[in-house]
Structure 1
Amino acid sequence: MTPDRTAPEDGIAARRAALHLIEQATGGQRLLSETIGAGALERLSPPDRARAQRLATQTLRQLPRADRALKPFLVKQPPLAVRNALRLGAVEIMEGAAAHGVVNALVQIMSKGKRTQSYKGLVNAVLRKLGDQPPEAFAKLPVPKLPNWLRGPMVEAWGRKAVDAMEAVHAAAPPLDLTAKGDPAALAERLGGALLPTGSVRLTGAGQVSALPGFEAGDWWVQDAAAAVAARVLDAQPGERVLDLCAAPGGKTLQLAAAGAEVTALDLSETRLGRLRENLGRTGLAARVVQADALEFDETGFDAILLDAPCSATGTIRRHPDLPYAKDGAEFGALIGLQAEMIDHALTLLKPGGRLVFCTCSLLPDEGEVQVEEALARHGDLTLDTGALARPGIEAGWIGPEGLRLRPDYWADRGGMDGFFIACLRRGPERG
């Protein structure tokens, strides 16, 4: 199913595009960001584009619940394109949308597809039956579980109770976190948001980001509260030479530049660096931007390096619920090897006594705690600076012997946070 380019009917274009995104994730093993980056939504109006992304994201977030709700009304599973239309409709109905509008739109979409037109009667009948269900029937549906390929290692690492708590956070639409260029308390008051203990500003029901006060002026940027902690641990000082490896789209670069450091922002992707340059321009902050392979970059003498290494991104599922469907863990071994290479190379770029903050947005210890254990074993002059992790808002129980572990179930009553691992490593002084 391809996204609608011309349909003028209310809701049709957004729903058709949402179905394309869902199908690419569930059948094509492509992340939403990849499909959108390939131009899937480019011809939609801004409101339809936003609606399509919201519908796709929420359907994927609630997909196991939708399947459970639909199961009593299906004798056998229809083709994936039809199943996804039923899932999207089920999620909309479960969230309180008028059933007749949802049904009419999806029946119309089904009737225009060669592969789906013969199923329009099924979609009509099933969704109308679902729409007749009382709201309390949906409230009893269980919290969606992570797929077995990921849930197993997570339970082994953190225990079943903790994983259950993380899944509960994953099931809710996340709030929007911002990092202030200036005073975060003033920004929170201005936007009617909450000031989090770590200094991020959290908004609920924010709507269109670019329409929020201060966006055009560059007073803030979007950055999950957990991700923002890494640059705070690095604690860049005015005038320090700081390297941000794997920098795009630039949230951490902006933090380092706002602290007054002389920042070099490096990334392999020129496309992603385009977003970083846009963010620098919007905020009026300065950094030297370099497009290069991090493993081939050989400039040395940096006071500090921030390495947010490529990883499984399993810590971002609360914001990217497509990941469990688009990935299966097959590439994780290669990523773990790459992370070790990048740590070793980054250390050669530090001046003696310099510090490296290594972080990953992963919930898997192999991409966090284990990496630090093995790096310390490989480098005799390397030390772990646990004192650097004791930043405002960081609870003592989050700091372990290898570094700082952040999880989605932390601050669950506030909307949670991304899963992140952060460690501060110090290179030994130069020997005379």
Structure 2
Amino acid sequence: MKKPQRAAAADLAKQEAMKAPGLAARLAAAAILRDVTVSGHTLDEVFAAPMGLSRLGGLAPRDIPLIRSIVTAALRRLGTIRHALAALLDDGFPRSAPQLEWTLTVAAAQILFLDVPDHAAVDLAVRMARLDSKCAPYAALVNGVARNLIRRREEFLAVGPALDIDTPAWLAARWRKAYGEEMAQAIATANRLEPTLDISVKSDPAQWAEKLDAVLLPTGSIRLKSHQPIQELCGYEDGAWWVQDAAAALPAQLLNVTPGLHIGDLCSAPGGKAAQLAARGARVTAVDRSAERLKLLAANFQRLQLEAEVVVADVTTFSGPTFDAVLLDAPCSGTGTIRRHPDIAWIKKTGDIAKLVTLQARMLDKAFDLVKRGGTIIYCVCSIEPEEGEQQIANLLRRNPDVSRVPISAEEVGGQTDFINALGELRTLQPYLPAEEPRLSGIDGFFAARLVRQS
């Protein structure tokens, strides 16, 4: 057979192979895992256009949740998976076939952590290997490794504590230093769990918890038990509620909102906190540098039948009116949301925190320029790194004599005394709000401080 004919035959064979049910979804999952762990892209980026189109284009809508499940399980337990594969590959991954790592990672995530038939995970992993010319010679190896994962599943699942296995070493060291061994272990263990799904409601949370057969948390948020798509739940189309983690809902509650109070919500998108403020009658100016994210905010406000002034601007250079109060949800490392965004653990580096701390300080100084004398500032981050929270506020108080801290009481956060530190600041950690069912327990790690500009 001539070369062009061989190439055509190979292409035809590949097209036929791609028709295997579920294969395209696994190939996309492998590509996305590489995008995250090697190229440093976030999951939000790779599941959105334009990158999402390159990985997900042509796939059936029903495949997208499966792909996300595989990827998030793999990232949440990446250390465990790498340990298992290292134990089964005496010589490591062959350098001539770099894609083999992601093929086996996808297979391991399904075999160890997902409710996928073992035979399907093995068969599709072998098919993935055969589709790649560099991996094809190792198809038998893939088959053997996948079958050994099945045989030794319980051994690998019991390999070690989450802080030592599934947490990057630099993060584990930071958490041990900041919170001690016991709490650091509890944080890492909580990060392994499926995240909760919480909502905030405009009014009458007890009634909505009953309507949705959900859990009413002491902080006022509602925790959903259902796995039903949120768009299909009662009240969504009517704009009665919006998705917002229970911890993220707390900072806006620390402002004494009265109708007509003019509040600047800085770094506002996608708008959960702005919605809380607007629903209580505040006049909200939502500022964010991302026009695309502000489009999400505008769409949410339209569904919720709420109003806000939307401004596309960099907070550090924004010049506008002085506000009665300011809420600054500053850019941060996001380490309090690893349970929800497991990619964070693998794309953030220790040097990122120092850069973020500098940016946060600039934004805090700007927030005080934008608030009236006597006005309140809420500073918050979804990070559990002290430099971005407690130390950031301590530094602000040292450099600005016109700032004072207004302590937060446990009564303001549903009586949760463990949410309040010794200085009267909000500090939630992932193991807080325990429940009998692990899926319904925990909360994002968050920090917030309430400050006032002296009159």
Tell me the SS of whatever aligns to 2:247: helix
Letter in 1 for 2:230: V
Corresponding residue of 1:411: 433
In structure 2, how many angstroms separate the alpha carbons of the residues matched to 1:307 and 1:389? 21
In structure 2, how many angstroms separate the alpha carbons of the residues matched to 1:160 and 1:122? 39
Encode CA deviations 1:156-200: one digit per residue, 9 max, x unaligned: 111111110001100111121111122222222222211111111
Corresponding residue of 1:11: 22
Corresponding residue of 1:361: 382
Q: Could you tell which deviates more after superposition, 250-259 or 147-156? A: 147-156
TM-fit CA distance, 1:246: 0.1
TM-score by length of 1: 0.93
Corresponding residue of 1:28: 39
TM-fit CA distance, 1:394: 4.4
The yes-or-no answer on 1:85 pairing with 2:103 is: yes
Tell me the SS of whatever aligns to 2:99: helix
Tell me the SS of whatever aligns to 2:449: strand
The yes-or-no answer on 1:219 pairing with 2:240 is: yes
Corresponding residue of 1:426: 452
TM-fit CA distance, 1:350: 0.6
Contact 2:270 2:294 in 1 (8 A): yes
> Where in structure 1 do 4 or more consecutive aligned residues deviate above 4 Å?
none
In structure 1, how many angstroms separate the alpha carbons of the residues matched to 2:233 and 2:125? 32
When Rg is computed on C-alpha atoms for both structures, the one with the higher figure is 2
In structure 1, how many angstroms separate the alpha carbons of the residues matched to 2:91 and 2:256? 57
In structure 2, how many angstroms separate the alpha carbons of the residues matched to 1:312 and 1:216? 33
Corresponding residue of 1:55: 70
Unmatched tracts of structure 2, length 5 or more: 1-14
Contact 1:65 1:143 in 2 (8 A): no
Contact 1:14 1:48 in 2 (8 A): yes
Q: Residue 344 and residue 394 in structure 1: after superposition, are their counterparts in 2 closer, same or farther (change >3 A)? A: farther
> 2:59 is matched with which residue: 38, 44, 53?
44
The yes-or-no answer on 1:123 pairing with 2:103 is: no
The yes-or-no answer on 1:169 pairing with 2:187 is: no
TM-score by length of 2: 0.88
Encode CA deviations 1:90-131: one digit per residue, 9 max, x unaligned: 221123421111111122122212343232221111112222
Contact 2:288 2:294 in 1 (8 A): yes
C-alpha RMSD of matched pairs (Å):
2.0
Corresponding residue of 1:65: 80
Q: Residue 124 and residue 329 in structure 1: after superposition, are their counterparts in 2 closer, same or farther (change >3 A)? A: same
Corresponding residue of 2:5: none
Tell me the SS of whatever aligns to 1:46: coil
Corresponding residue of 2:308: 287
- The alignment-based identity, stated in percent, is 38
TM-fit CA distance, 1:383: 1.2
Tell me the SS of whatever aligns to 1:341: helix
In structure 1, how many angstroms separate the alpha carbons of the residues matched to 2:149 and 2:176? 34
In structure 2, how many angstroms separate the alpha carbons of the residues matched to 1:344 and 1:208? 41
In structure 2, how many angstroms separate the alpha carbons of the residues matched to 1:73 and 1:174? 30
Corresponding residue of 2:126: 107
Contact 1:303 1:350 in 2 (8 A): yes
